[in-house]
Structure 1
Amino acid sequence: MFGVLGMLGGGALAAHAYSNSQQSIPNSAYGPTLWRNESTDRLFPATVGEPPNYKYDAADKQVAQWSRMGISQDTSCSEGLSGETKETAERLGCTAVLRATYVDLTGEMVATVAIIVLPEGAAGQEMGAYFDDQEHADVPDAAVVPFAVPGTLAAKWQGNRRNGMGGEALGGDSFPYAIAVTTGAVNGRTSGNLPGEFGDYGANEEDRKPWMDAANALSETFHTHLGNLER
């Protein structure tokens, strides 16, 4: 599976994607193969943001909120996901996990976005139900294994710095994907570990909230972005 993204990262896939763009392929046929046929720059744009209206695309630099630091060449489900998220995806037949790391425009928050490739059928809906449950969990699963990018603000991004998670299923038999996001602080600050009475009465949950909100918003942004790539 490692070779899949190795090809994704080179010109071979760009040429393949261009060739496919000249064909008239129904959405229902193209959806399941989108992850193989789109270039990495299309799947993970250099910048992403939540469009304020239909006039903008999520990859439009005018709405940029996150900048890409790097793209992982490891597409293994077991290496790209962790904990209960990994167990759930593998139980549902995970085919691949494509990951990229972004830093927000303040330079303070880092995130790894994972595109989870699932079998056609009900797997996407089940993954979506799992993410809905996690959003309300006392201690949400960290979901994605952080992808550190040397020489960037994400150089020290690692598992023990994860503060928030979010996820979205793209659903539908012909579009078998889910998005998972893990967020943290660039400076390594961890959330939800307030001592003594400071951690009582939901304070730890509130301390995690900014990272949870950012992870959910970024997963929704990629939900929209990938949906726009379907032809």
Structure 2
Amino acid sequence: MFGVLGMLGGGALASHAYSNSRQSIPNSAYGSTLWRNETIEKLFPATVGDTPNYTYEVSDKKVAQWSRMGISQDTSCAKGLSGETKETAEKLGCKAVLRATYVDLTGEMVATVAIVVLPKGTAGQEMGEYLDKQEHADVPDAAVVPFTVPGTLAAKWRENRRNGMGGDALGGDLPYAIAVTTGAVDGRTSGNLPGEFGDYGANDEDRKPWMDAANALSEIFYTNLGNLER
């Protein structure tokens, strides 16, 4: 009997050890440095999409909704963000802004995603609160400077073509905020209906698809950064 119990106990221990080996335990010290240590391909995957129930990685082609057009080599906070968003990030100690431009799979919507690198502490949370307020503002700040990519569908992507913005923040051991701006590939602008056509929230409704897309992209990159922590 003892021998059988010993064998069973050994098997249980082995099973437990194997189970532990399969666990992914976040490394809090790595979180604040992953923006410098991870490859740019992992920070900005070639394609991204929503991950229903976390069944897939955001970069899995099975969920692809956006294709990357290009990645900016300029990581300046001052050149990556604009308006009140830039001022807020700089006050919070912005270290860098990493940007990449994506086009949705219909080829109609363009977006620039910015990963805002902040100091550890409360800066990420404060930036997230600011971005959330902007999403619900009557006239939201455009947030991100578009990154134009010659020779692609994003070749004419400019600041005056921005229609929507969205953002999110991780905070804690991951001192990052995600800010996104969206527009139309063909340059159509929204939210500027003339006279009475713009009354009673019509401008907001016209801008809503762009705002929703920007917010959805910020959530995708929120998930991606969280997955990169180890």
Q: Which residue of 1 aligns with 2:161?
A: 161
1:172-191 deviation digits (Å, cap 9, x = unpaired): 1x210000000000000000
Q: Which residue of 1 aligns with 2:222?
A: 223
Q: Which residue of 2 aligns with 1:54?
A: 54
1:71-94 deviation digits (Å, cap 9, x = unpaired): 000000000000000000000000
Q: Which residue of 2 aligns with 1:150?
A: 150
Say which SS state the counterpart of residue 73 (structure 1) adopts.
coil
Query: What is the identity, as a one-letter code, of the residue corresponding to 2:203?
Result: N
Deviation of the 1:25 alpha carbon: 9.5
Deviation of the 1:27 alpha carbon: 1.3
Q: Give TM-score, length-normalised by structure 1.
A: 0.88
Say which SS state the counterpart of residue 110 (structure 2) adopts.
strand
Mapping for residues 20-169 of structure 1, pairs under 5 Å: 27-169=27-169
Say which SS state the counterpart of residue 207 (structure 2) adopts.
helix
Q: Give TM-score, length-normalised by structure 2.
A: 0.88
1:89-123 deviation digits (Å, cap 9, x = unpaired): 00000000000000000000000000000001000
Deviation of the 1:54 alpha carbon: 2.2
**Equivalents in 2 of 1:54, 1:135: separation in Å?**
25
Gaps of 5+ in 2: 1-23
**Equivalents in 1 of 2:127, 2:39: separation in Å?**
25
Q: Percent identity?
A: 84
**Equivalents in 2 of 1:119, 1:196: separation in Å?**
45
1:113-150 deviation digits (Å, cap 9, x = unpaired): 00000001000010011011111100000000000000
Aligned length: 207
Q: Which residue of 1 aligns with 2:198?
A: 199
Q: Which residue of 1 aligns with 2:16?
A: none
Say which SS state the counterpart of residue 218 (structure 1) adopts.
helix
Query: Is 2:176 the counterpart of 1:177?
Result: yes
Query: What is the identity, as a one-letter code, of the residue corresponding to 1:146?
Result: P
Deviation of the 1:53 alpha carbon: 2.1
Query: What is the identity, as a one-letter code, of the residue corresponding to 2:132?
Result: D
Gaps of 5+ in 1: 1-23
Say which SS state the counterpart of residue 176 (structure 1) adopts.
strand
**Given the superposition, is the C-alpha separation of residues 25 and 221 from structure 1 closer, same or farther in structure 2, using an over 3 Å criterion?**
closer
**Equivalents in 2 of 1:45, 1:133: separation in Å?**
28
Q: Which residue of 1 aligns with 2:186?
A: 187
1:144-171 deviation digits (Å, cap 9, x = unpaired): 0000000000000010000000000111
**Equivalents in 1 of 2:87, 2:167: separation in Å?**
15
CA contact (8 A) 2:26 2:229 kept: no
